[in-house]
Amino acid sequence: MTQYHLAELNVGRLIAPTDDPRVAEFMGALDRINGMGKRMPGFVWMMEGSGEPGTGNTENSIGDDPQFVANLTVWEDVASLEKFVWQTVHRQFYDRRQEWFEILGDMHFVMWWVPAGHEPTLDEALARLEHLRAHGDSDHAFGWAHLPQAQMWKTRNCGQGAAA
């Protein structure tokens, strides 16, 4: 039987270029938050940028807009991702997301199951996000509500506006 892991894509548009003082606090914390995520139990893989300090994955921009950035990770299971998102310092940055990101009118977060060992591409992840936007939750692409074992999002103000 094939083992599956949980992939997630989160996109957002920064309110300013990555070297602008308005997003400096966010940019300055990226290496710390991403590094913590990589050390979490259940973490499997993360799409990487250049590796330059303070850039996180922000070089993985979408289209020709360097302020439209993506974070793509894979986790062993729902519980591991939930713990990182809601029970670590990541939560503090999530709660402040509107300070650094524009409010997006469309869904900006998607999850899907991938065979263990698969590292999804950004194009693959964006296609899943488009599928979710067009068709809603399904086994192909989904949000937190599609996962009965995911409960923390219900009390964590997990809206669809600003990036997470």
67 against 112, higher pLDDT: 112
Confidence of residue 155 (pLDDT cuts 50, 70, 90): confident
Tokens representing 25? Answer: 């606090």
Residue 24 lies in a domain: yes
| Coil/strand/helix, residue 7 | strand
Residue 146 falls inside a structural domain: yes
Cα dist. 52→27, 87, 158 in Å?
12, 27, 30
| Structural domain total, the chain | 1
Dihedral over Cα of 55, 67, 106, 94: its sign: positive
Domain annotation covers residue 161: no
Q: Is residue 54 in a domain? A: yes
Q: Which helix (H) or strand (E) holds 69?
A: strand 65-75
- Domain, as residue range, for 93: 4-155
State how far the alpha carbon of 153 is from the alpha carbons of 46, 69, 115, 118, 147, in Å: 22, 22, 25, 26, 11
Looking up residue 45, the CATH number of its domain turns out to be: 3.30.70.100
pLDDT given at position 140: 97
Residue 124 lies in a domain: yes
Say which DSSP state 118 is in: -
Structure confidence by residue, pLDDT tens digits, 5-64: 999 999 999 999 989 999 999 988 988 998 999 999 999 999 986 455 555 555 566 777
Nearest to 56 by CA among 80, 38, 74: 38
pTM of the full structure: 0.87
